[in-house]
Amino acid sequence: MTSRLKLVGSLVVASALTMAVAQAQTPPFGQEEDTAYAQKVWAAMEELNLAGDGAIHAFPYAGTDPHGMMLETFYQNAEIDGQAGTLVVKRNYGPEGVTADQVLSDPGEHLGSVTVMFKRESGYDAENKDWFYAKYLPDGSLDKNPGGIELAGRVAKGNAEAGCIACHSAAPGEDFLFTTDRTGW
């Protein structure tokens, strides 16, 4: 009886360990719930004319890596799944040397990607100010990291050297936003 209990006990421990390992290997982004959420964000952007055929434009300004050589940034309020939050959309244009005029005369030709942050419900990622990140290709599909994981969610929480959070956590003002700290627009 005792040995049977011990056996059951060690099985429980073993499966708990397996689960812990599985969890550690599941990145906090690129999961089904993240990509489904990213589709809703893109749909909201289309509705707000921030993406798609009717998208509005601003005067592009010079940017740097990793985002692009010419940028447009928009701050809006959006509602996803009934939750209102700040939506920040950054369009990233290239290639190197492209001018604002060239971008404006043919934005579709120069658009490389669209990077987005949306402020989710509190508790989504409390230690990182609850931002959801996504990187889209111009057609609205998600870009992937070198490991083939789609860039949507808490990208790449837990990896201090790579990903959106690692860099944006260094933005002045501790709000994870860079453009709000820009001077000389």
Binding residues among 38-77 for ligand HEC as defined by CB under 6 A: 63, 66-67, 71, 73
Q: Which residues on adjacent β-strands are paired with residue 90?
A: 73, 115
Nearest to 138 by CA among 109, 105, 100: 109
Q: Which residues of 120-154 are buried (b: 16+ CB within 10 A; e: fewer)?
A: beeebbeeebbbbbbbbebebebeebeeebbbbbb
Q: How far is the CB of 32 from ligand HEC (least distance, A)?
A: 19
Alpha helices by DSSP H, listed for 26-126, are 32-47, 100-105, 107-110
Q: How far is the CB of 123 from ligand HEC (least distance, A)?
A: 20
**Ramachandran angles phi, psi of 76, nearest 5°:** -145, 165
Among 44, 103, 116, 142, binds ligand HEC (CB under 6 A): 116
Of 1 and 184, nearer to ligand HEC (C-beta) is 184
Q: Is 114 in the site for ligand HEC (CB under 6 A)?
A: no
> Tokens standing for 42?
């893109």
Q: Is 92 in the site for ligand HEC (CB under 6 A)?
A: no
Q: How far is the CB of 60 from ligand HEC (least distance, A)?
A: 10
Q: Is 177 in the site for ligand HEC (CB under 6 A)?
A: yes
Residues that bind ligand HEC (CB under 6 A): 63, 66-67, 71, 73, 88, 90, 115-117, 133-135, 151, 155, 164, 167-168, 171, 177-179
